[in-house]
Amino acid sequence: MFDIFLTVKKGEAKKRIEELKELIRTHNHNYYVLNAPTISDFEYDILMNELIQLEKLFPQYITKDSPTQNVGSDLAVTGAGQGGFRQYRHEYPMLSLSNTYDLEELYAFDQRVKKVADSPFSYNCELKFDGTAICLTYKDGILFRALTRGDGTVGDDVTSNVMEIGSIPQKLKSGTSYPREFEIRGEIYMPYEAFDRLNRQRELDEDPPFANPRNAAAGSLKLLDSAAVKERGLESTLYHLIAPDLGVTTHSDALKAAAEWGLPVSEYAKECKGIEEVVEYITLWDEKRRSLPFATDGIVVKVNQLDLQKKLGFTAKSPRWATAYKFKPEEALTKLLSIDYQVGRTGAITPVANLEPVLLSGTMVKRASLHNSEQMELLDIHIGDYVYVEKGGEIIPKITRVEISKRSASAEKARFPACCPDCGTPLVKDPEEAKSFCPNSDGCPMQQKGKFLHFIGRKAMNINAGEATIEQLYTKGYIKRLSDIYSLTSNELSQLDKWKEKSVANFLNSVKQSKERPFSKVLFALGIKYIGETTANSLAYTFKSIENLMHASREELTETEDVGEKLADSIISYFSNPDNIKLIEELKAAGLKFSIDENSAMKLSDALDGRTFMITGIYTIPREEMKAYIEAHGGKVASSVSSKTDFLVAGEKSGEAKIKKAEKLGVEIISEEELYKMTSK
């Protein structure tokens, strides 16, 4: 389907080849490094195929740096060792797969294999999980190292993060026979359920949602805080075993052996006797994939016999014994009726398209995201346009393109508002972000209601109410400031629609219970821009009280774990507003906790006085409690390992990089049990 009939001149070909190379490099960077692709896989493959065809016709213009000769890289552009990850060379290059959307090309692949084969062979077919590639090395049955694909030659060391993924064993099953050292490669992916949960939280925090599960998985694997990786719900499937002597003759048997050792291999793989069985498998899963709990974008077809794989060999970029048949993206064409402009709690304006209902991925779609004004401009969107909508696990589908041929001559171009659609205040645009904002944070009703919804949320004050309740309370004038929640009366609550005595009692009881929420939850509930749940924990346990945080310098803030310059500026800006200080005083008077509880901050002994600790891994108690425990015995907890660190407390799944750095600096490494012995008499 990608055949290109070219009657192009040499000079034009050279110019187009250079354009395509630059364009594809940009898209590779967006996809692999930023985890924020701006085009679909299908559109990318069209560009790549055009470049391949042109280079075939004009081989004199093929260069070593061409995307056709190299694997896309997920390494940080700043160079080896930057971005918080050490980099190591792959013992065996991690290549990419050739792919096609055309069954005829799959039959051609089969013919190429048959020309080399001198005996009967079979294929192994597997679902192509839409995630991010990983390479695991095991030594003596213990997980030794985990590397990303990187540029195919060098990868980022993400071992400490991979250790937070429950499906990947750190130790193989005892009693099984495995090579002393081997590599196994596969995919880290994020199931739809975890993806939806993550994006719901990001939307509440007004962080940009991930476009799809693949981007979310890749971004999660590169988090600098290993503990945060565990919360992301990542899974893994492994599909390629490499060792000098595997003791098996087929790829299928290699996967069976890996499963016996306790490694996660796909339950959907199937051995196919010939190309017709392969096509049947593809046809089956093109339909069944819609019911899977994770994203899959195709089928990987591999020659099953290992000796034939070796005989077929590799190109500079991919193995000749494997290919991927990719499913066409699911999309639907429907009419755009209107656009709503939603105002979030921080004032961010998000355009959402209202559509004629259309069935997509098993659900009826009525709304789709347009993201921001720049995306609307890029699409050249008009009211009444027929638009293509895609949904690949996203909470809200997205518009990918406009069918210009169906545009009415009278269609009016959609104009992003210059003023807030709720309060009429002129919008401002953050020069560092694509979003526009309403600056009227104190007077904009939608922002105010958004702040209340964030405040009462389960991860904040956990008050038993929802959007409809906040809407009624705000409309009736019962709440204008967050502190008003704590002065609501039974009489006022009984005025709400369908609220009876039991509803009132449940609400008031949850308000009372919210006063027991710890300082970290209260800090998160305030809704300070860029402070997420994890950051609120770090700030609470570092500064101990709102007063200390309020008077912290920019330098002190940026030295805190998870706090960058942008967040530091946001915190300083928040506390420079007198009305915010007044709100905190009102919430204090209502009984909320704005400091670490005495029980967790009390001095238990001087056993660790003058000693600095760094903690890594998982303990029998939460990390925040471990920090509090060390401080309660007089110790200090650092945010990184340095020459000033006295002890590294290594729990389960400890970060390898921290361990190595401690060893290099001569920092003593102790266990959780050894720490407890130091504090007991």
> What whole-number distance in Å separates Cα of residue 118 and Cα of residue 307?
11
Q: Using an 8 Å Cβ cutoff, are 444 and 422 in contact?
A: yes
| Token reading at 199 | 């994006």
CA-closest candidate to residue 68, choices 42, 96, 29, 43: 96
Radius of gyration of the chain (CA): 28
Strands 382-383, 322-326: pairing kind: unpaired
CA-closest candidate to residue 202, choices 452, 459, 518, 520: 459
- Angle, vertex CA 426, rays to CA 420 and CA 432, nearest 5: 90
Residue 447 phi, psi dihedral angles, 5° rounding = -65, -40
> What whole-number distance in Å separates Cα of residue 45 and Cα of residue 329?
12
User: Which residue's entry shows tokens 């709440």?
Assistant: 479
> What whole-number distance in Å separates Cα of residue 472 and Cα of residue 475?
5
The dihedral over CA atoms of 588, 594, 597, 601, expressed in degrees to the nearest 10, equals -140
> What whole-number distance in Å separates Cα of residue 319 and Cα of residue 99?
11
CB atoms closer than 10 angstroms to residue 161: 29
Query: Which stretch of DSSP H or E encloses residue 139?
Result: strand 132-139
DSSP-based three-state secondary structure for 445:
helix
> What whole-number distance in Å separates Cα of residue 318 and Cα of residue 630?
52
> What whole-number distance in Å separates Cα of residue 663 and Cα of residue 608?
21
CA-closest candidate to residue 284, choices 300, 299, 271: 299
Name the residues annotated as catalytic: 128
DSSP-based three-state secondary structure for 548:
helix
Q: What are the residue ranges of helices labelled H in 408-559?
A: 445-456, 467-475, 490-493, 501-514, 519-525, 533-543, 546-550, 554-558
DSSP-based three-state secondary structure for 59:
helix
Query: Which stretch of DSSP H or E encloses residue 359?
Result: strand 348-360
> What whole-number distance in Å separates Cα of residue 343 and Cα of residue 291?
34
| Token reading at 420 | 């807030």
CA-closest candidate to residue 425, choices 455, 445, 405, 409: 445
Query: What is the number of helices (H) and of strands (E) in the chain?
Result: 25, 24
Q: Using an 8 Å Cβ cutoff, are 57 and 628 in contact?
A: no
Q: Using an 8 Å Cβ cutoff, are 217 and 189 in contact?
A: yes
> What whole-number distance in Å separates Cα of residue 229 and Cα of residue 146?
14
User: Which residue's entry shows tokens 């953050």?
Assistant: 430
> What whole-number distance in Å separates Cα of residue 151 and Cα of residue 415?
42
> What whole-number distance in Å separates Cα of residue 449 and Cα of residue 476?
13
Length in residues, the chain: 681
Contacts of 681 (CB under 8 A, 6+ apart): none
Query: Which stretch of DSSP H or E encloses residue 366?
Result: strand 363-369
> What whole-number distance in Å separates Cα of residue 368 and Cα of residue 354?
7
